[in-house]
């Protein structure tokens, strides 16, 4: 089994339930892990034989541009696109963190994690 990870990809986006969140925007951080059993020899040194983490970043970047009320919805959209692009993936995990969410106290982040079964 091989696991490809994209960690701490940062974005500024306009997700949030409240109108002011969608107006002011926030910082977000995305982590993605994709596990698969290689069907080709990895020593061939070919990108086609693995999950391309550049493509994972592009998927996350494109989905972060679509303003949504819930970070759960954003994370699920990222997950769905990865699942579609890499149907051979055995496990997919997408974590989306909202940095410094607008709450009444100091909070480092709020997050949601979508994991394949």
Q: Which residues does the annotation mark as catalytic?
A: 98
In terms of DSSP H, where are the helices of the chain?
Answer: 19-24, 53-64, 71-85
Give the pair of three-digit tokens for residue 73.
């919805």
| Residue whose token pair is 């994991």 | 115
Residue 21: alpha-carbon gap to chain centroid: 20
Determine which helix (DSSP H) or strand (DSSP E) holds 13, and give its type and residue range. strand 2-13
Give the pair of three-digit tokens for residue 63.
């989905």
Residue 31 backbone class (left: φ over 0; alpha: ψ -120 to 50; beta: rest): beta
């Amino acid at each position: 089994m091989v696991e490809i990870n994209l960690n701490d990809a940062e974005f500024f986006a306009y997700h949030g339930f409240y109108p002011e969140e969608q107006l002011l925007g926030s910082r977000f951080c995305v982590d993605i892990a994709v596990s698969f059993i290689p069907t080709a020899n990895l020593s061939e040194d070919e990108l086609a034989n693995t999950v391309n983490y550049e493509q994972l970043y592009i998927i996350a970047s494109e989905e972060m541009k679509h303003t949504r009320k819930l970070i759960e919805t954003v994370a699920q959209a990222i997950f769905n696109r990865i699942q579609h692009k890499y149907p051979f993936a055995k496990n997919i995990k997408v974590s989306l963190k909202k940095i410094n969410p607008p709450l009444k106290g100091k909070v480092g982040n709020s997050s949601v994690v979508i994991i394949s079964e």
